[in-house]
Amino acid sequence: MASEYSFDVVSKVDMQEMNNAVTQSLKEIETRFDFKGSKSDIKLENDQLVVVSDSDYKLKSVVDILQSKMIKRGVPILNLEYGKIEPASGGTVRQTIKLKQGIDQENAKKMNVLIRDSKLKVKSQIQGDQLRVTGKSKDDLQAVMSLLQGAGLSLELQFTNYR
């Protein structure tokens, strides 16, 4: 039996599932009556999405469709960082949406403080874009998991390498 247990707190977007959500969204846009003849499109480029449509209203509808497909596929929508809506060529509007991968330093520090203030007998340390939590009791680790899930952070958390 191990004397120390640990897990990693990460925040990642599964790019294959994201690609599937974009593909499904584009199929729905093609078949919907209110988008007939519109120039609506979604492109996935590296770690960002580019959404293009005829007007602000249609752009927001495209983003809503994308979010619903992401939720159905289990892709976290909290990890989206929306840019401003800007005019594009051909009388269209464009919005860039960044996909947040990993935990930024600010959120990692907040989580560290939350864990320290909880008075649980665990240690946490920042390791790049993830957080490692170690402790002697599995119950304490599970308490940390539920604490972090209920903390209301601005990103979706996953717990990996539970040992």
Rounded Cα distance between 31 and 35, Å, is 8
Q: Which fold has domain 5-12+102-160?
A: Alpha-Beta Plaits (3.30.70)
**Under CATH, which architecture does the 15-99 domain have?**
2-Layer Sandwich (3.30)
Could you tell me the pLDDT band of residue 2, with boundaries at 50, 70 and 90? low
Distance CA 113, CA 16 (A): 33
- Average pLDDT of span 88-109: 88
- The CA distance from 37 to 68, in Å, is 22
- Please tell me the predicted confidence (pLDDT) of residue 117: 85
> Which one, of 136, 137, 131, lies nearest residue 161 by Cα?
131
pLDDT surpasses 80 at 38: yes
CATH 3.30.70.990 residue ranges for the chain: 15-99
Average pLDDT over residues 21-30: 93
